[in-house]
């Protein structure tokens, strides 16, 4: 185990060393802004939402690399270890999700430097693990209109993520007049259980011909509550659902409303539609070439989670993908760690992508 680190992972080490669960990102944002200055970025500042912004160059054309600087709770001691089959790895909360990708963005843009005619913008967005207030703010700003967008999420250095499922949360509430427990009437809790069984059957029927998880409705029961005031009893089911591209959030809420026995649908938080980008664009071609140049075998994936890609890509309307080093199966786990070799490969790939996208036309 080591607490010293190679100089070429300074950005990664500094970011992961600043524990920053959602809502407590200030110290990590300040660290990233200082790193932008150290690496010679043209401009570095914190915006009104609390996001860290670093801009390289001053041309009229834009590329945005949007990562998130917050993490889930649960601090993991920062350390280097050598693991079988992985070599030297960095343990720490956020090393994979998603400070590894954000640090790789920062280092790659510094390696490329200012490119004539271009602004290359790195964003460390806040609150992605909750309601994505940072990305929502960015999407509303007229000064961000990129020609290409890369979102920082772990996919392994050889893979590019084209899309993520949508998500929607709701509370289903059922109320009934309070009755004696010896009566034959269904209680509010009985009704809620019957409703959940009916929903599950309906979803199973709709998923019959959908072999891939990306294309399926994936509801989950996240919690339940019940009680009474002496006259009326109630039961609530707390639901989440991962949505495919052909089921927007409102269609999901409409489905919930139509399931018998009827209850009250109460949407929670921000619902996010699914997003899937195109496979054949100048951006994906740049990634394919850069990964091959770095010695990798490129591949495309879609994921069943939800990311800031879903929020900004439809607004910007430009080629957009998610990319970053790390094994996403380690997201949010107590074993979160990133191999340093993979981090370096991702920086090389991103450097190659940016060089290809900003190269002067022949």
CA–CA gap between residue 358 and residue 327 (Å, rounded): 29
Whose structure tokens read 């801009």? 55
Q: Catalytic site residue 128?
A: yes
Q: In angstroms, rounded to a whole number, what is the distance separating the alpha carbons of residues 277 and 158?
A: 18
197: β partners: none
Q: What is the DSSP letter of 209?
A: T
Give CA–CA dist 165/42, Å, rounded. Answer: 36
Which positions ≥6 away from 328 have C-beta within 8 Å?
Answer: 96, 97, 153, 154, 155, 303, 305
- CA-closest candidate to residue 314, choices 185, 170, 149, 159: 149
What letter would DSSP give residue 98?
T
Residue 89 and residue 150 in contact, taking contact as beta carbons nearer than 8 Å: no
Sheet holding 166-177, edge to edge: 218-228, 232-243, 166-177, 264-272
What is the chain's length? 362
Q: Give every CB contact of residue 152 below 8 A, 6+ residues apart in sequence.
A: 65, 66, 67, 68, 98, 101, 102, 104, 105, 322, 323, 324
Query: Burial level of 329, CB count in 10 A (0-12/13-18/19+)?
Result: exposed
| Residue of 70, 236, 327, 331 marked active site | 70
Closest CA to 155 of 312, 311, 360, 307: 307
- Say which of 128, 236, 308, 331 is annotated catalytic: 128
Positions marked active-site: 70, 128
């Amino acid at each position: 185990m080591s607490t010293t680190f190679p100089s070429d992972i300074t950005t990664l080490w500094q970011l992961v060393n600043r524990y920053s669960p959602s809502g407590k990102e200030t110290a990590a944002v300040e660290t990233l802004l200082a790193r932008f200055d150290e690496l010679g970025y043209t401009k570095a500042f914190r915006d009104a939402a609390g996001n860290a912004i670093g801009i390289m160059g001053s041309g009229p054309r834009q590329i945005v690399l949007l990562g998130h600087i917050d993490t889930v709770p649960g601090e993991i001691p920062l350390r280097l270890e050598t693991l079988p089959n992985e070599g030297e790895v960095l343990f720490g909360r956020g090393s994979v999700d998603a400070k590894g990708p954000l640090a790789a963005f920062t280092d790659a843009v510094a390696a490329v430097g200012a490119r004539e005619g271009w602004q290359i913008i790195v964003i460390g967005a806040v609150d992605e693990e909750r309601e994505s207030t940072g990305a929502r703010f960015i999407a509303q700003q007229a000064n961000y209109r990129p020609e290409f967008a890369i979102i920082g999420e772990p996919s392994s250095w050889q893979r590019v993520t084209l899309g993520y499922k949508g998500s929607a949360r709701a509370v289903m509430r059922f109320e009934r007049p309070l009755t004696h427990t010896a009566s034959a009437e269904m209680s509010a809790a009985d009704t809620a259980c019957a409703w959940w069984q009916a929903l599950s059957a309906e979803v199973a029927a709709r998923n019959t011909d959908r072999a891939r998880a990306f294309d399926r409705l994936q509801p989950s029961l996240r919690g339940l509550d019940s009680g009474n005031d002496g006259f009326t009893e109630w039961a609530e089911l707390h639901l989440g659902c991962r949505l495919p591209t052909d089921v927007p959030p409102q269609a999901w809420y409409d489905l919930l409303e139509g399931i018998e026995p009827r209850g009250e649908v109460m949407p929670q938080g921000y619902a996010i539609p699914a997003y899937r980008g195109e496979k054949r664009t100048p951006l994906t071609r740049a990634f394919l070439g850069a990964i091959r140049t770095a010695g990798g075998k490129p591949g495309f994936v879609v994921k069943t989670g939800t990311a800031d890609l879903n929020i900004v890509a439809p607004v910007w309307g430009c080629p957009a993908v998610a990319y970053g080093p790390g094994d996403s199966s380690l997201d949010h786990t107590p074993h979160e760690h990133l191999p340093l070799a993979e981090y370096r490969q991702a920086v090389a790939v991103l450097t190659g992508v940016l060089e290809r996208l900003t190269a002067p036309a022949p």
